[in-house]
Structure 1
Protein backbone atom coordinates (compact mmCIF):
# COMPACT_ATOMS: atom_id res chain seq x y z
CA UNK A 1 0.00 0.00 0.00
CA UNK A 2 1.31 3.47 -0.86
CA UNK A 3 2.50 5.63 2.01
CA UNK A 4 0.68 8.70 0.67
CA UNK A 5 -2.59 8.56 -1.20
CA UNK A 6 -3.71 11.69 -3.01
CA UNK A 7 -7.15 12.75 -1.65
CA UNK A 8 -10.13 11.69 -3.75
CA UNK A 9 -13.28 13.19 -2.23
CA UNK A 10 -16.61 12.09 -3.64
CA UNK A 11 -18.36 15.34 -2.66
CA UNK A 12 -17.65 18.79 -1.25
CA UNK A 13 -17.57 18.44 2.54
CA UNK A 14 -19.87 15.42 2.11
CA UNK A 15 -22.72 17.82 1.39
CA UNK A 16 -22.50 19.14 -2.20
CA UNK A 17 -21.92 17.14 -5.41
CA UNK A 18 -18.56 17.61 -7.07
CA UNK A 19 -19.98 19.18 -10.23
CA UNK A 20 -21.95 21.84 -8.34
CA UNK A 21 -18.97 22.60 -6.12
CA UNK A 22 -16.65 22.85 -9.13
CA UNK A 23 -18.97 25.30 -10.87
CA UNK A 24 -19.13 27.48 -7.75
CA UNK A 25 -15.34 27.39 -7.26
CA UNK A 26 -14.68 28.38 -10.86
CA UNK A 27 -17.28 31.14 -10.62
CA UNK A 28 -15.37 32.60 -7.67
CA UNK A 29 -12.15 32.33 -9.65
CA UNK A 30 -13.71 34.18 -12.60
CA UNK A 31 -14.95 36.98 -10.33
CA UNK A 32 -11.48 37.25 -8.83
CA UNK A 33 -9.85 37.54 -12.25
CA UNK A 34 -12.26 40.27 -13.38
CA UNK A 35 -10.48 42.57 -10.93
CA UNK A 36 -7.57 42.59 -13.37
CA UNK A 37 -9.75 44.63 -15.73
CA UNK A 38 -10.22 47.33 -13.09
CA UNK A 39 -6.47 47.39 -12.53
CA UNK A 40 -5.86 48.04 -16.23
CA UNK A 41 -8.55 50.74 -16.25
CA UNK A 42 -6.75 52.42 -13.33
CA UNK A 43 -3.87 53.14 -15.69
CA UNK A 44 -6.19 55.28 -17.81
CA UNK A 45 -6.93 57.47 -14.81
CA UNK A 46 -3.23 58.09 -14.19
CA UNK A 47 -3.03 55.95 -11.06
CA UNK A 48 0.59 54.79 -10.54
CA UNK A 49 1.21 51.04 -10.56
CA UNK A 50 4.49 49.31 -9.83
CA UNK A 51 5.65 46.51 -12.18
CA UNK A 52 4.57 43.79 -9.76
CA UNK A 53 1.00 45.06 -9.64
CA UNK A 54 0.85 45.61 -13.39
CA UNK A 55 2.08 42.08 -14.12
CA UNK A 56 -0.53 40.65 -11.75
CA UNK A 57 -3.37 42.51 -13.48
CA UNK A 58 -2.19 41.38 -16.93
CA UNK A 59 -1.91 37.81 -15.68
CA UNK A 60 -5.46 37.93 -14.28
CA UNK A 61 -6.84 38.95 -17.67
CA UNK A 62 -4.79 36.22 -19.37
CA UNK A 63 -6.30 33.54 -17.10
CA UNK A 64 -9.85 34.88 -17.47
CA UNK A 65 -9.92 33.87 -21.15
CA UNK A 66 -9.26 30.12 -20.65
CA UNK A 67 -11.73 30.03 -17.76
CA UNK A 68 -14.54 31.45 -19.91
CA UNK A 69 -13.65 29.09 -22.77
CA UNK A 70 -13.34 25.87 -20.75
CA UNK A 71 -16.09 26.30 -18.14
CA UNK A 72 -19.05 25.34 -20.40
CA UNK A 73 -17.54 21.85 -20.75
CA UNK A 74 -18.63 21.06 -17.18
CA UNK A 75 -22.23 20.68 -18.34
CA UNK A 76 -21.43 19.67 -21.90
CA UNK A 77 -21.77 16.30 -23.56
CA UNK A 78 -19.63 13.45 -22.33
CA UNK A 79 -17.21 13.22 -25.26
CA UNK A 80 -13.46 13.40 -25.69
CA UNK A 81 -13.44 17.16 -26.29
CA UNK A 82 -15.39 17.94 -23.10
CA UNK A 83 -13.26 15.52 -21.09
CA UNK A 84 -10.03 17.20 -22.19
CA UNK A 85 -11.49 20.63 -21.41
CA UNK A 86 -12.57 19.60 -17.90
CA UNK A 87 -9.13 18.19 -17.12
CA UNK A 88 -7.46 21.31 -18.56
CA UNK A 89 -9.75 23.50 -16.48
CA UNK A 90 -8.69 21.65 -13.34
CA UNK A 91 -5.02 22.18 -14.16
CA UNK A 92 -5.64 25.87 -14.90
CA UNK A 93 -7.06 26.21 -11.40
CA UNK A 94 -4.12 24.36 -9.84
CA UNK A 95 -1.51 26.42 -11.70
CA UNK A 96 -3.35 29.63 -10.84
CA UNK A 97 -3.23 28.62 -7.18
CA UNK A 98 0.55 28.21 -7.35
CA UNK A 99 1.12 31.50 -9.22
CA UNK A 100 -1.23 33.41 -6.93
CA UNK A 101 0.64 32.05 -3.92
CA UNK A 102 3.88 33.43 -5.36
CA UNK A 103 2.28 36.85 -5.90
CA UNK A 104 0.84 36.83 -2.39
CA UNK A 105 4.25 35.97 -0.99
CA UNK A 106 5.91 38.81 -2.92
CA UNK A 107 3.30 41.34 -1.83
CA UNK A 108 3.62 40.13 1.75
CA UNK A 109 7.38 40.46 1.69
CA UNK A 110 7.02 43.98 0.31
CA UNK A 111 4.61 44.86 3.09
CA UNK A 112 6.88 43.54 5.84
CA UNK A 113 9.83 45.26 4.19
CA UNK A 114 7.89 48.51 4.45
CA UNK A 115 7.23 47.84 8.13
CA UNK A 116 10.91 47.08 8.67
CA UNK A 117 11.93 50.31 6.95
CA UNK A 118 9.52 52.26 9.12
CA UNK A 119 11.03 50.50 12.12
CA UNK A 120 14.43 51.87 11.17
CA UNK A 121 15.98 48.65 9.85
CA UNK A 122 16.99 47.96 6.27
CA UNK A 123 15.69 44.90 4.45
CA UNK A 124 18.32 44.45 1.77
CA UNK A 125 17.04 43.52 -1.68
CA UNK A 126 13.43 43.69 -0.48
CA UNK A 127 13.74 47.33 0.48
CA UNK A 128 11.64 49.42 -1.88
CA UNK A 129 9.88 46.46 -3.57
CA UNK A 130 6.35 47.64 -4.28
CA UNK A 131 6.55 50.28 -1.56
CA UNK A 132 5.78 53.28 -3.76
CA UNK A 133 2.06 52.52 -3.80
CA UNK A 134 2.11 51.26 -0.22
CA UNK A 135 3.60 54.52 1.01
CA UNK A 136 0.73 56.42 -0.58
CA UNK A 137 -2.03 54.16 0.75
CA UNK A 138 -0.70 52.85 4.09
CA UNK A 139 -1.55 55.99 6.03
CA UNK A 140 1.21 55.68 8.62
CA UNK A 141 4.40 56.46 6.69
CA UNK A 142 4.17 60.19 7.44
CA UNK A 143 6.01 61.37 9.48
CA UNK A 144 8.89 59.30 8.16
CA UNK A 145 10.32 58.45 11.59
CA UNK A 146 8.05 56.76 14.08
CA UNK A 147 9.14 55.66 17.54
CA UNK A 148 7.62 53.43 20.15
CA UNK A 149 9.55 54.75 23.18
CA UNK A 150 11.60 57.83 24.10
CA UNK A 151 14.39 57.75 26.70
CA UNK A 152 15.69 61.07 28.12
CA UNK A 153 19.29 61.23 29.41
CA UNK A 154 20.49 64.37 31.22
CA UNK A 155 24.14 65.48 31.57
CA UNK A 156 25.55 68.73 33.06
CA UNK A 157 26.16 71.38 30.44
CA UNK A 158 29.85 72.44 30.31
CA UNK A 159 30.39 75.99 31.62
CA UNK A 160 26.75 76.46 32.51
CA UNK A 161 26.08 76.95 36.16
CA UNK A 162 22.31 76.91 36.59
CA UNK A 163 21.08 74.55 33.86
CA UNK A 164 21.45 71.12 32.34
CA UNK A 165 21.48 69.79 28.76
CA UNK A 166 18.83 67.24 27.77
CA UNK A 167 19.39 64.70 24.99
CA UNK A 168 16.61 62.64 23.37
CA UNK A 169 17.22 59.12 21.99
CA UNK A 170 14.47 57.53 19.95
CA UNK A 171 14.32 53.74 20.28
CA UNK A 172 12.48 52.15 17.34
CA UNK A 173 10.90 48.74 17.22
CA UNK A 174 12.90 45.84 15.79
CA UNK A 175 12.16 43.82 12.65
CA UNK A 176 10.85 40.90 14.66
CA UNK A 177 8.43 43.16 16.52
CA UNK A 178 7.15 44.49 13.18
CA UNK A 179 6.61 41.01 11.74
CA UNK A 180 5.33 39.38 14.91
CA UNK A 181 3.11 42.21 16.05
CA UNK A 182 -0.53 41.51 16.82
CA UNK A 183 -1.78 42.82 13.48
CA UNK A 184 0.88 41.00 11.45
CA UNK A 185 0.29 37.66 13.16
CA UNK A 186 -3.44 37.88 12.50
CA UNK A 187 -2.71 38.72 8.85
CA UNK A 188 -0.45 35.69 8.52
CA UNK A 189 -3.10 33.48 10.14
CA UNK A 190 -5.72 34.67 7.65
CA UNK A 191 -3.36 34.04 4.71
CA UNK A 192 -2.58 30.52 5.90
CA UNK A 193 -6.29 29.76 6.35
CA UNK A 194 -7.06 31.03 2.85
CA UNK A 195 -4.24 28.92 1.38
CA UNK A 196 -5.60 25.81 3.12
CA UNK A 197 -9.07 26.49 1.66
CA UNK A 198 -7.58 27.06 -1.78
CA UNK A 199 -5.68 23.76 -1.62
CA UNK A 200 -8.91 21.95 -0.73
CA UNK A 201 -10.60 23.63 -3.69
CA UNK A 202 -7.83 22.25 -5.90
CA UNK A 203 -8.48 18.75 -4.57
CA UNK A 204 -12.21 19.11 -5.29
CA UNK A 205 -11.69 20.36 -8.85
CA UNK A 206 -9.19 17.60 -9.60
CA UNK A 207 -11.55 14.99 -8.18
CA UNK A 208 -14.35 16.17 -10.45
CA UNK A 209 -12.04 16.03 -13.47
CA UNK A 210 -11.00 12.52 -12.43
CA UNK A 211 -14.61 11.35 -12.14
CA UNK A 212 -15.38 12.85 -15.57
CA UNK A 213 -12.43 11.00 -17.13
CA UNK A 214 -13.37 7.68 -15.54
CA UNK A 215 -16.99 8.05 -16.65
CA UNK A 216 -15.79 8.66 -20.20
CA UNK A 217 -13.54 5.59 -20.05
CA UNK A 218 -16.41 3.45 -18.77
CA UNK A 219 -18.70 4.59 -21.59
CA UNK A 220 -16.25 4.30 -24.50
CA UNK A 221 -13.50 1.82 -23.65
CA UNK A 222 -14.02 -1.91 -24.05
CA UNK A 223 -10.94 -2.70 -21.95
CA UNK A 224 -11.61 -3.28 -18.27
CA UNK A 225 -9.18 -3.57 -15.39
CA UNK A 226 -9.09 -7.34 -15.56
CA UNK A 227 -8.15 -7.47 -19.27
CA UNK A 228 -5.73 -4.52 -19.41
CA UNK A 229 -1.96 -4.98 -19.40
CA UNK A 230 -1.90 -3.80 -15.78
CA UNK A 231 -4.74 -5.12 -13.67
CA UNK A 232 -4.75 -1.94 -11.56
CA UNK A 233 -4.52 0.64 -14.37
CA UNK A 234 -7.33 1.31 -16.83
CA UNK A 235 -6.74 2.03 -20.48
CA UNK A 236 -5.60 5.56 -21.25
CA UNK A 237 -8.19 7.05 -23.62
CA UNK A 238 -5.55 9.42 -25.07
CA UNK A 239 -2.99 6.75 -25.94
CA UNK A 240 -1.53 6.39 -29.40
CA UNK A 241 -3.68 4.33 -31.73
CA UNK A 242 -7.00 5.79 -30.64
CA UNK A 243 -8.87 8.66 -32.24
CA UNK A 244 -8.70 10.67 -28.99
CA UNK A 245 -4.92 10.35 -28.87
CA UNK A 246 -4.23 11.93 -32.24
CA UNK A 247 -2.99 15.50 -32.69
CA UNK A 248 -2.25 18.14 -30.11
CA UNK A 249 -5.35 17.28 -28.11
CA UNK A 250 -4.15 13.73 -27.54
CA UNK A 251 -0.67 14.94 -26.59
CA UNK A 252 -2.20 17.42 -24.15
CA UNK A 253 -4.39 14.72 -22.64
CA UNK A 254 -1.46 12.33 -22.14
CA UNK A 255 0.66 15.05 -20.55
CA UNK A 256 -2.09 16.11 -18.15
CA UNK A 257 -2.64 12.54 -16.94
CA UNK A 258 0.98 12.19 -15.82
CA UNK A 259 0.55 14.37 -12.74
CA UNK A 260 0.21 13.91 -9.84
CA UNK A 261 0.43 10.23 -10.87
CA UNK A 262 -0.99 8.08 -13.62
CA UNK A 263 -2.50 5.81 -10.98
CA UNK A 264 -4.48 8.75 -9.60
CA UNK A 265 -6.30 9.22 -12.91
CA UNK A 266 -6.52 5.64 -14.18
CA UNK A 267 -5.86 3.45 -11.15
CA UNK A 268 -8.40 1.26 -9.46
CA UNK A 269 -9.92 2.74 -6.33
CA UNK A 270 -9.03 1.01 -3.08
CA UNK A 271 -12.71 0.66 -2.23
CA UNK A 272 -13.29 -1.20 -5.51
CA UNK A 273 -10.28 -3.44 -4.89
CA UNK A 274 -11.44 -4.27 -1.37
CA UNK A 275 -14.95 -5.02 -2.59
CA UNK A 276 -13.60 -7.27 -5.35
CA UNK A 277 -11.34 -9.19 -2.96
CA UNK A 278 -14.23 -9.62 -0.53
CA UNK A 279 -16.47 -10.90 -3.31
CA UNK A 280 -13.77 -13.36 -4.41
CA UNK A 281 -13.47 -14.64 -0.85
CA UNK A 282 -17.20 -15.15 -0.61
CA UNK A 283 -17.24 -17.02 -3.91
CA UNK A 284 -14.32 -19.19 -2.80
CA UNK A 285 -16.19 -20.11 0.37
CA UNK A 286 -19.34 -20.91 -1.57
CA UNK A 287 -17.64 -23.39 -3.90
CA UNK A 288 -17.88 -26.25 -1.41
CA UNK A 289 -21.55 -25.62 -0.78
CA UNK A 290 -23.79 -28.44 -1.99
CA UNK A 291 -27.55 -28.10 -1.97
CA UNK A 292 -29.36 -31.43 -1.93
CA UNK A 293 -32.92 -31.63 -3.10
CA UNK A 294 -34.82 -34.28 -1.17
CA UNK A 295 -36.14 -37.02 -3.38
CA UNK A 296 -38.41 -39.99 -2.88
CA UNK A 297 -36.64 -42.12 -0.33
CA UNK A 298 -37.79 -45.05 1.72
CA UNK A 299 -39.49 -43.98 4.90
CA UNK A 300 -39.72 -40.34 3.76
CA UNK A 301 -42.01 -38.10 1.80
CA UNK A 302 -41.29 -37.68 -1.91
CA UNK A 303 -40.68 -34.25 -3.39
CA UNK A 304 -43.78 -34.47 -5.59
CA UNK A 305 -45.97 -35.39 -2.67
CA UNK A 306 -44.44 -32.68 -0.50
CA UNK A 307 -45.15 -30.01 -3.11
CA UNK A 308 -48.67 -31.36 -3.57
CA UNK A 309 -49.34 -31.08 0.15
CA UNK A 310 -48.00 -27.56 0.31
CA UNK A 311 -50.03 -26.48 -2.71
CA UNK A 312 -47.05 -25.63 -4.91
CA UNK A 313 -47.08 -28.74 -7.05
CA UNK A 314 -48.53 -29.13 -10.53
CA UNK A 315 -52.27 -29.21 -10.93
CA UNK A 316 -54.00 -32.58 -10.78
CA UNK A 317 -54.80 -33.85 -14.31
CA UNK A 318 -58.47 -34.25 -15.20
CA UNK A 319 -59.68 -37.87 -15.54
CA UNK A 320 -61.40 -38.73 -18.83
CA UNK A 321 -65.11 -39.64 -18.78
CA UNK A 322 -65.65 -43.39 -19.27
CA UNK A 323 -69.30 -43.25 -20.29
CA UNK A 324 -72.02 -40.96 -21.54
CA UNK A 325 -74.16 -39.22 -19.04
CA UNK A 326 -77.78 -40.44 -18.90
CA UNK A 327 -80.60 -38.03 -18.38
Structure 2
Protein backbone atom coordinates (compact mmCIF):
# COMPACT_ATOMS: atom_id res chain seq x y z
CA UNK A 1 0.00 0.00 0.00
CA UNK A 2 1.38 3.36 -1.09
CA UNK A 3 -1.30 5.95 -0.30
CA UNK A 4 -4.20 6.53 2.06
CA UNK A 5 -7.48 6.92 0.18
CA UNK A 6 -5.40 7.21 -3.04
CA UNK A 7 -4.33 10.84 -2.50
CA UNK A 8 -2.98 11.19 1.07
CA UNK A 9 0.36 9.92 2.32
CA UNK A 10 0.52 6.93 4.63
CA UNK A 11 1.83 9.10 7.47
CA UNK A 12 -1.07 11.54 7.14
CA UNK A 13 -3.51 8.65 7.01
CA UNK A 14 -1.95 7.05 10.08
CA UNK A 15 -2.13 10.32 12.01
CA UNK A 16 -5.81 10.73 11.13
CA UNK A 17 -6.58 7.15 12.12
CA UNK A 18 -4.80 7.46 15.46
CA UNK A 19 -6.62 10.76 16.08
CA UNK A 20 -9.96 8.97 15.75
CA UNK A 21 -8.65 6.28 18.11
CA UNK A 22 -7.73 8.89 20.74
CA UNK A 23 -11.13 10.58 20.46
CA UNK A 24 -12.83 7.23 20.86
CA UNK A 25 -10.83 6.29 23.95
CA UNK A 26 -11.68 9.58 25.70
CA UNK A 27 -15.13 8.08 26.22
CA UNK A 28 -13.58 5.84 28.88
CA UNK A 29 -12.77 8.90 30.98
CA UNK A 30 -16.31 10.26 30.81
CA UNK A 31 -17.73 6.79 31.39
CA UNK A 32 -15.91 6.50 34.71
CA UNK A 33 -17.02 10.01 35.67
CA UNK A 34 -20.60 8.83 35.26
CA UNK A 35 -20.10 6.65 38.34
CA UNK A 36 -19.93 9.81 40.44
CA UNK A 37 -23.47 10.68 39.33
CA UNK A 38 -24.76 7.40 40.70
CA UNK A 39 -25.02 5.62 37.37
CA UNK A 40 -24.84 1.86 37.71
CA UNK A 41 -22.34 0.17 35.39
CA UNK A 42 -22.15 -3.51 34.65
CA UNK A 43 -18.85 -5.32 35.03
CA UNK A 44 -18.58 -5.46 31.24
CA UNK A 45 -19.05 -1.69 30.91
CA UNK A 46 -16.62 -0.96 33.73
CA UNK A 47 -13.91 -3.15 32.23
CA UNK A 48 -14.36 -1.46 28.85
CA UNK A 49 -13.98 2.02 30.35
CA UNK A 50 -10.88 1.00 32.31
CA UNK A 51 -9.35 -0.49 29.16
CA UNK A 52 -10.18 2.70 27.23
CA UNK A 53 -8.19 4.78 29.74
CA UNK A 54 -5.22 2.42 29.45
CA UNK A 55 -5.42 2.52 25.65
CA UNK A 56 -5.69 6.32 25.71
CA UNK A 57 -2.53 6.63 27.80
CA UNK A 58 -0.53 4.18 25.66
CA UNK A 59 -1.66 5.68 22.35
CA UNK A 60 -0.96 9.18 23.66
CA UNK A 61 2.60 8.13 24.52
CA UNK A 62 3.29 6.48 21.15
CA UNK A 63 1.59 8.99 18.83
CA UNK A 64 4.29 11.77 18.95
CA UNK A 65 6.79 9.26 17.57
CA UNK A 66 4.92 9.08 14.26
CA UNK A 67 6.59 12.26 13.02
CA UNK A 68 9.91 11.33 14.61
CA UNK A 69 9.71 8.02 12.71
CA UNK A 70 11.14 6.01 15.59
CA UNK A 71 10.90 2.41 14.34
CA UNK A 72 10.33 0.75 17.72
CA UNK A 73 7.53 3.15 18.67
CA UNK A 74 5.81 3.20 15.28
CA UNK A 75 5.97 -0.58 15.13
CA UNK A 76 4.53 -0.77 18.64
CA UNK A 77 1.71 1.60 17.68
CA UNK A 78 0.85 -0.55 14.67
CA UNK A 79 0.63 -3.73 16.73
CA UNK A 80 -1.31 -1.93 19.45
CA UNK A 81 -3.90 -0.87 16.88
CA UNK A 82 -4.25 -4.50 15.78
CA UNK A 83 -4.71 -5.65 19.40
CA UNK A 84 -7.17 -2.83 20.06
CA UNK A 85 -9.19 -3.94 17.04
CA UNK A 86 -9.45 -7.48 18.42
CA UNK A 87 -10.39 -6.22 21.89
CA UNK A 88 -13.06 -3.93 20.45
CA UNK A 89 -14.44 -6.80 18.39
CA UNK A 90 -14.83 -8.89 21.55
CA UNK A 91 -16.59 -6.06 23.39
CA UNK A 92 -18.86 -5.37 20.41
CA UNK A 93 -19.85 -9.02 20.17
CA UNK A 94 -20.51 -9.20 23.93
CA UNK A 95 -22.68 -6.07 23.94
CA UNK A 96 -24.53 -7.22 20.81
CA UNK A 97 -25.37 -10.59 22.35
CA UNK A 98 -26.66 -8.93 25.52
CA UNK A 99 -28.72 -6.51 23.47
CA UNK A 100 -30.35 -9.22 21.40
CA UNK A 101 -31.11 -11.24 24.54
CA UNK A 102 -32.82 -8.24 26.11
CA UNK A 103 -34.88 -7.65 22.97
CA UNK A 104 -35.87 -11.30 22.92
CA UNK A 105 -37.08 -11.10 26.53
CA UNK A 106 -39.24 -8.02 25.90
CA UNK A 107 -40.79 -9.26 22.65
CA UNK A 108 -42.83 -12.44 23.06
CA UNK A 109 -42.87 -13.05 19.31
CA UNK A 110 -39.07 -13.39 19.29
CA UNK A 111 -39.04 -16.99 20.50
CA UNK A 112 -35.60 -17.74 19.16
CA UNK A 113 -32.28 -15.88 19.27
CA UNK A 114 -31.85 -16.26 15.51
CA UNK A 115 -35.28 -14.81 14.92
CA UNK A 116 -34.35 -11.74 17.00
CA UNK A 117 -31.26 -11.13 14.88
CA UNK A 118 -33.31 -11.33 11.67
CA UNK A 119 -35.57 -8.49 12.70
CA UNK A 120 -35.32 -5.68 10.05
CA UNK A 121 -33.93 -3.05 12.46
CA UNK A 122 -31.36 -5.51 13.81
CA UNK A 123 -30.24 -6.54 10.33
CA UNK A 124 -29.62 -2.87 9.55
CA UNK A 125 -27.56 -2.44 12.72
CA UNK A 126 -25.49 -5.53 11.95
CA UNK A 127 -24.86 -4.31 8.39
CA UNK A 128 -23.59 -0.95 9.67
CA UNK A 129 -21.32 -2.67 12.20
CA UNK A 130 -19.87 -4.93 9.51
CA UNK A 131 -19.17 -1.95 7.23
CA UNK A 132 -17.42 -0.13 10.08
CA UNK A 133 -15.28 -3.18 10.79
CA UNK A 134 -14.39 -3.44 7.14
CA UNK A 135 -13.16 0.15 7.36
CA UNK A 136 -11.24 -0.76 10.50
CA UNK A 137 -9.42 -3.54 8.65
CA UNK A 138 -8.44 -1.04 5.96
CA UNK A 139 -7.07 1.23 8.70
CA UNK A 140 -4.97 -1.67 9.98
CA UNK A 141 -3.43 -2.11 6.52
CA UNK A 142 -2.63 1.62 6.35
CA UNK A 143 -0.91 1.72 9.75
CA UNK A 144 1.01 -1.51 9.14
CA UNK A 145 2.18 -0.21 5.75
CA UNK A 146 3.42 3.03 7.31
CA UNK A 147 5.22 1.14 10.09
CA UNK A 148 6.86 -1.07 7.47
CA UNK A 149 8.09 1.93 5.48
CA UNK A 150 9.51 3.55 8.63
CA UNK A 151 11.27 0.34 9.61
CA UNK A 152 12.79 -0.18 6.18
CA UNK A 153 13.95 3.43 5.84
CA UNK A 154 15.67 3.03 9.20
CA UNK A 155 17.42 -0.11 7.99
CA UNK A 156 18.59 1.58 4.77
CA UNK A 157 19.90 4.59 6.68
CA UNK A 158 21.88 2.60 9.26
CA UNK A 159 23.12 -0.46 7.34
CA UNK A 160 26.23 -0.71 5.23
CA UNK A 161 25.72 -1.29 1.53
CA UNK A 162 27.48 -4.66 1.76
CA UNK A 163 25.52 -5.93 4.75
CA UNK A 164 22.10 -4.66 3.77
CA UNK A 165 20.79 -8.03 2.58
CA UNK A 166 21.19 -11.39 4.28
CA UNK A 167 20.31 -14.87 3.06
CA UNK A 168 17.71 -16.39 5.35
CA UNK A 169 19.46 -19.78 5.26
CA UNK A 170 23.16 -19.44 4.33
CA UNK A 171 23.48 -23.19 3.71
CA UNK A 172 20.65 -23.14 1.17
CA UNK A 173 21.51 -21.20 -2.03
CA UNK A 174 17.85 -21.25 -3.07
CA UNK A 175 16.57 -19.63 0.13
CA UNK A 176 15.24 -16.09 -0.05
CA UNK A 177 16.98 -12.98 1.18
CA UNK A 178 15.84 -10.38 3.66
CA UNK A 179 17.03 -7.00 4.82
CA UNK A 180 18.94 -6.68 8.07
CA UNK A 181 16.99 -6.91 11.29
CA UNK A 182 17.46 -3.49 12.95
CA UNK A 183 16.82 -5.10 16.34
CA UNK A 184 19.42 -7.83 15.99
CA UNK A 185 21.51 -8.44 19.12
CA UNK A 186 24.67 -7.12 17.44
CA UNK A 187 23.10 -3.75 16.57
CA UNK A 188 22.58 -0.67 18.69
CA UNK A 189 18.78 -0.84 18.41
CA UNK A 190 18.82 -4.45 19.56
CA UNK A 191 20.08 -3.75 23.07
CA UNK A 192 18.00 -3.87 26.22
CA UNK A 193 14.29 -4.49 26.59
CA UNK A 194 13.49 -2.37 23.53
CA UNK A 195 15.63 -4.65 21.38
CA UNK A 196 13.89 -7.74 22.75
CA UNK A 197 10.51 -6.14 22.16
CA UNK A 198 11.48 -5.14 18.62
CA UNK A 199 12.64 -8.66 17.78
CA UNK A 200 9.40 -10.08 19.15
CA UNK A 201 7.26 -7.72 17.08
CA UNK A 202 9.22 -8.45 13.90
CA UNK A 203 9.08 -12.20 14.54
CA UNK A 204 5.34 -11.96 13.88
CA UNK A 205 5.00 -11.97 10.08
CA UNK A 206 8.77 -11.62 9.67
CA UNK A 207 8.61 -11.92 5.89
CA UNK A 208 6.33 -8.86 5.74
CA UNK A 209 8.68 -6.64 7.76
CA UNK A 210 12.05 -7.79 6.41
CA UNK A 211 11.33 -9.57 3.13
CA UNK A 212 12.90 -8.16 -0.04
CA UNK A 213 10.50 -7.02 -2.73
CA UNK A 214 10.49 -4.87 -5.84
CA UNK A 215 9.77 -1.73 -3.82
CA UNK A 216 13.30 -1.82 -2.40
CA UNK A 217 14.67 -0.34 -5.60
CA UNK A 218 13.77 3.19 -4.52
CA UNK A 219 16.01 2.93 -1.45
CA UNK A 220 18.97 1.57 -3.39
CA UNK A 221 18.51 4.27 -5.99
CA UNK A 222 18.43 7.01 -3.37
CA UNK A 223 21.94 6.08 -2.34
CA UNK A 224 23.02 7.94 0.77
CA UNK A 225 20.04 10.25 1.10
CA UNK A 226 18.85 8.52 4.25
CA UNK A 227 22.28 7.97 5.70
CA UNK A 228 23.43 9.73 8.83
CA UNK A 229 25.66 12.76 8.52
CA UNK A 230 29.34 11.85 8.39
CA UNK A 231 28.79 8.46 6.77
CA UNK A 232 30.25 7.75 3.37
CA UNK A 233 27.64 7.58 0.62
CA UNK A 234 27.02 4.40 -1.27
CA UNK A 235 28.76 4.20 -4.64
CA UNK A 236 27.84 1.95 -7.51
CA UNK A 237 31.10 1.18 -9.27
CA UNK A 238 31.72 1.98 -12.97
CA UNK A 239 28.27 3.47 -13.51
CA UNK A 240 28.78 6.04 -10.77
CA UNK A 241 32.26 6.93 -12.06
CA UNK A 242 30.87 7.38 -15.56
CA UNK A 243 28.13 9.65 -14.24
CA UNK A 244 30.67 11.80 -12.40
CA UNK A 245 32.92 11.96 -15.45
CA UNK A 246 30.08 13.24 -17.64
CA UNK A 247 28.93 15.78 -15.05
CA UNK A 248 32.45 17.07 -14.54
CA UNK A 249 32.58 16.19 -10.83
CA UNK A 250 35.07 13.36 -11.11
CA UNK A 251 38.87 13.57 -10.67
CA UNK A 252 40.85 15.42 -13.32
CA UNK A 253 42.60 13.17 -15.85
CA UNK A 254 46.43 13.20 -15.86
CA UNK A 255 48.14 15.43 -18.51
CA UNK A 256 48.95 13.72 -21.77
CA UNK A 257 52.39 15.30 -22.34
CA UNK A 258 55.44 16.54 -20.40
CA UNK A 259 57.36 18.90 -22.66
CA UNK A 260 59.94 19.77 -20.03
CA UNK A 261 60.86 16.15 -19.48
CA UNK A 262 60.59 16.50 -15.71
CA UNK A 263 59.39 13.45 -13.80
CA UNK A 264 55.82 13.85 -12.54
CA UNK A 265 56.78 13.08 -8.99
CA UNK A 266 59.20 16.03 -8.85
CA UNK A 267 57.52 18.45 -11.22
CA UNK A 268 56.80 21.79 -9.55
CA UNK A 269 59.31 21.21 -6.70
CA UNK A 270 62.43 23.25 -6.13
Q: Say which SS state the counterpart of residue 241 (structure 1) adopts.
A: coil
Contact 1:33 1:63 in 2 (8 A): yes
**Structure 2 counterpart SS, 1:222:** coil
Match of residue 34 from structure 1: 26
- Structure possessing the higher radius of gyration over alpha carbons: 1
Task: Give 1:14 shift.
Answer: 1.6
Structure whose residues are more often helix by fraction: 2
| 8 A Cα contact 2:179 2:210, kept in partner | yes
Tell me what 1:92 maps to: 80
Within the alignment, does 1:195 sit opposite 2:133 as a pair? yes
Corresponding position of 1:251: 196
Distance 1:241 1:177 in 2: 61
1:102 aligns with 2:90: yes
Structure 1 contact 19–74 (Cα < 8 Å) conserved: yes
Secondary structure (helix, strand or coil) at the match of 2:6 reads: coil
> Is the partner of 1:233 in helix, strand or coil?
strand
TM-score, length basis structure 1: 0.61
Give the distance between the partners of 2:79 and 2:164, measured in 1 at CA.
30
Q: How far is the alpha carbon of 1:268 from its aligned partner?
A: 1.1
For the Cα contact (< 8 Å) 1:223–1:234, is it kept in 2?
no
Alignment of 1:118-267 (within 5 A): 118-120=106-108, 172-175=109-112, 176-223=114-161, 227-230=165-168, 232-259=177-204, 261-267=205-211
Alpha carbons 2:164, 2:180 under 8 Å: kept: no
Q: 1:227 to 1:38 in 2, by over 3 A?
A: closer
CA contact 1:225–1:233 (8 Å) conserved in 2: no
Provide TM-score, normalisation by structure 2.
0.74
How far apart are residue 20 of structure 1 and its match?
A: 0.3
Q: CA, structure 1 residues 115+254, in 2 after alignment: closer, same or farther (shift >3 Å)?
A: same
Residue number among 213, 231, 238 corresponding to 1:269 in the alignment: 213
Distance (Å, rounded) in 2 between the aligned partners of 1:272 and 1:243: 23
Structure-2 separation of matches of 1:226 and 1:109: 51
C-alpha distance in 1, partners of 2:147/2:185? 21
The C-alpha deviation readout for 1:195-221, integer Å capped at 9, x for no partner, is 100011011001100000000000001
2:53 aligned residue: 61
| Structure 1 contact 223–235 (Cα < 8 Å) conserved | no
Asked whether the 8 Å contact 1:228–1:234 carries over to 2, the reply is yes
Structure 2: 5+ residue stretches without partners:
169-175, 221-270
Q: After TM superposition, give the deviation of residue 225 of structure 1 in Å.
A: 7.5
- Mark the runs of 5 or more structure 1 residues left unpaired by the alignment: 1-8, 121-171, 277-327
